[in-house]
Amino acid sequence: MVGRTEGTITSWYAIIDEGAELWEVYSNGHEVLRELCLKTINYRQLNR
């Protein structure tokens, strides 16, 4: 579960390599991971 972060979201970025991560960057400097998924799981779900 992701905790709440005080501040305004100033940007976000995604990292896509072996998996995919979506990060939010807040005005107070905190970075919060919002979503993490593995390509292999998504691939299997799409090819049922």
Average pLDDT, the chain: 69
Judging by DSSP bridges, how do beta strands 31-38 and 9-16 pair with one another? unpaired
Residue closest to 24 by CA, chosen among 48, 42, 47, 2:
2
The answer to whether 42 and 36 have CB atoms below 8 angstroms apart is no
Q: Is 40 helix (H, G, I), strand (E, B) or coil?
A: helix
List the chain domain ranges: 9-46
pLDDT tens per residue, range 1-47? 455 556 787 887 777 776 677 888 888 888 888 777 655 444 445 54
Q: What is the pLDDT of residue 34?
A: 78
Q: What is the pLDDT of residue 39?
A: 55
Q: What is the pLDDT of residue 41?
A: 47
Residue closest to 34 by CA, chosen among 44, 24, 45, 47:
24
- Please give the model's pTM, rounded to 2 decimal places: 0.47
